[in-house]
Amino acid sequence: MPGTRITYAIGRLVLWSARPGVVYGEGAVLRAAPAGPLAIADPRVAPYGAAARRVLERLGVLAAWQPHLVQGKASARPTSSWPPATRRSASSRCRR
């Protein structure tokens, strides 16, 4: 409906690795040949996933990275695990 759109969040994409020295500068690691998986949110349901794909497209590296993209499925079902489980085993979450 006209006039009903609002901005509910403003954020930034982050390129991160658990291994020190992999990510540096302006994301040069994305321009190199893929050496492992790259996790992004599912672009069909998550704005940051769509933004990550656009970055890869604009860098001209999406085709190279496409086989290495790993996408989370949980963002498509945000209420399935709400509230988040804390210190409970998987079996205790299933008994409801």
The tens digit of pLDDT for each residue in 18-74 reads 888 888 877 889 998 998 899 999 999 888 899 999 999 999 999 999 999 998 765
- What is the band of 7 on the pLDDT scale with cuts at 50, 70, 90? confident
Supply the pLDDT for residue 50: 92
Question: What's the domain count of the chain?
Answer: 1
What is the pTM (predicted TM-score) of this model?
0.64
| Distance between CA atoms of residues 27 and 64, nearest Å | 15
Q: What is the pLDDT of residue 11?
A: 83
CATH of the domain at 92: 3.40.190
pLDDT digits (tens, 9 = 90+) for 74-93: 544 444 444 445 444 444 44
Structural domain boundaries, residue 28: 1-96
Q: Which of 6, 15, 7, 2 is nearest to 51 (CA)?
A: 15
pLDDT at 56: 95
Reading phi first (left if > 0) and then psi (alpha if -120 to 50, else beta), residue 87 is in: left
